[in-house]
Copies of this chain bind each other. A is one copy, B any other.
Amino acid sequence: MNLKELSKNLGLSPTTVSRALNGYPEVSEATRERVRNAAQQHNYHPNTRAKALATGRAMAIGHVIPLSNQHEMVNPVFGDFISGAGEVYAQRGYDMVLSIVDDGQEERAYRDLKAKGTIDGVIIHGPHRNDPRPALLTDLGLPFVVHGRTAADPDSYWWIDMNNAQAFYRATRFLLDLGHRRIALFNGLEHMDFALRRRNGYERAMTEAGLTTDTALMRSEEMSESYGYLHARDLLKTDTPPTAFLVSSIIMALGVRRALDELGLRMGQDVSILTHDDGLSYFPNGGDVPIFTSTQSSVRQAGRMVADMLIERILTPTAPPKSHLLEAALIVGSSTGPAPKDLST
A binding-site residues for B, Cβ under 8 Å? 1, 43-50, 52-53, 58, 60, 65, 67, 71-76, 78-80, 82-83, 86-87, 89-90, 95-101, 111-112, 115-118, 224-226, 251, 254, 257-258, 261-262, 264, 281-284, 286, 300
When distances are taken between beta carbons in the complex, the residues of chain B under 8 Å from A75 are: 79, 282
Residues of B with C-beta under 8 A to A80: 74
How many identical chains are in the complex?
2
| Residues on B with beta carbons closer than 8 Å to the beta carbon of A46 | 116
- The interface residues of chain B lying within 8 Å CB-to-CB of A115 are 1, 43-45
| 11 pairs, A vs B, C-beta closer than 8 Å | A44-B115, A45-B112, A49-B52, A67-B87, A71-B281, A74-B79, A74-B282, A75-B79, A76-B76, A89-B100, A226-B286
* A225 cross-chain contacts in B, Cβ below 8 A: 254, 283
A44–B111 CA distance with the chains assembled, in angstroms: 10
B79–A98 CB distance below 8 A: no
Is the pair A282, B96 in contact by a Cβ cutoff of 8 Å?
no
Q: How far is the CA of A343 from the CA of B286 in the complex (A)?
A: 36
CB-CB under 8 A from A86, the residues of chain B are 65, 67, 98-100
Q: Is the CB of B224 within 8 A of A284?
A: yes
**Given A72-B300, A74-B79, A90-B99, A47 and B116 touching (CB < 8 A)?**
yes
Residues of chain B within 8 A of A67, CB atoms compared:
83, 86-87
**Which chain B residue has the least Cβ–Cβ distance from A279?**
B72
What's the nearest-Cβ distance from chain B to residue A270, in Å? Answer: 14
Residue of B45, B90, B224 near A283 (CB, 8 A) is B224
CB atoms of B96 and A48 under 8 A apart: no
Residues of B within 8 A of A83 (CB): 65, 67, 72, 74, 100
Residues from chain B with Cβ under 8 Å of A283 in the complex: 224-225
Closest residue of B by beta carbon distance from A266: B262
Q: Which 8 A-B pairs have the closest CB atoms?
A: A86-B100, A261-B261, A45-B115, A74-B79, A49-B52, A48-B116, A49-B53, A73-B281
Docked Cα-Cα span, A73 to B283, in Å, equals 10
| Contact across chains for A282 and B73 when beta carbons are under 8 A apart | yes
Give 11 A-B pairs besides A49-B52, A75-B282, A226-B286 with Cβ atoms closer than 8 angstroms.
A44-B115, A65-B86, A67-B87, A73-B282, A74-B80, A74-B83, A75-B79, A86-B99, A95-B99, A225-B254, A254-B254
Q: Which residue of B lies closest to A85 (CB)?
A: B100
* B-side contacts of A251, CB under 8 Å: 282
Set of chain B residues within 8 Å of A44, measured between Cβ atoms: 115
Tell me the smallest distance from the CB of A279 to a CB of chain B, in Å: 10
A300 to B47, CA, bound (A): 32
Chain B residues with Cβ below 8 Å from A58 are 49
Shortest distance between the CB of A58 and any CB in chain B (Å): 7
Are A82 and B95 also in contact (CB < 8 A) when A47-B117, A71-B281, A111-B43 are?
no
- What separation, in Å, do the CA atoms of A261 and B286 have in the docked complex? 19
Shortest CB–CB separation between residue A72 and chain B, in angstroms? 5
